[in-house]
């Protein structure tokens, strides 16, 4: 069974969101009040990635880097940037 681009990006997004929450709560020891407030913003950011990919799939014109690998790497990098922001 071959997964389409949107499914792959959705799975990567879910894994990154769960990993982000675990790292912020368990490793960086962010307080639950701050984490519950900010996780809403992170969910909105990640949903934006998924919707932008589905919007791009409907248009005929795509740029050469518009693949699930590109979007997955971008999501992982943004997740690492959020972790680095909290670590500082």
Measured between alpha carbons, how far is 28 from 60 in angstroms, rounded to an integer? 43
For 30, phi then psi, to 5°, come to: -70, 140
Number of domains in the chain: 1
Residue 45: what pLDDT?
87
pTM: 0.81
Domain that holds residue 47: 5-87
- Which helix (H) or strand (E) segment is 5 a member of? helix 5-22
Q: Give residue-wise pLDDT tens across range 27-85.
A: 999 998 999 999 999 999 888 877 876 665 555 556 677 788 888 899 999 999 999 99
User: By three-state DSSP, how is residue 6 classified?
Assistant: helix
């Amino acid at each position: 069974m071959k997964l389409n681009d949107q499914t792959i990006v959705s799975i990567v997004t879910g894994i990154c969101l769960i990993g982000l929450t675990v790292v912020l709560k368990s490793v960086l020891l962010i307080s639950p009040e701050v984490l519950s407030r900010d996780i809403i913003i992170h969910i909105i950011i990640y949903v934006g990635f998924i919707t932008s990919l589905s919007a791009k799939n409907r248009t005929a014109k795509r740029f050469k880097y518009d693949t699930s690998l590109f979007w997955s790497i971008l999501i992982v990098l943004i997740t690492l940037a959020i972790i680095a922001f909290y670590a500082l």
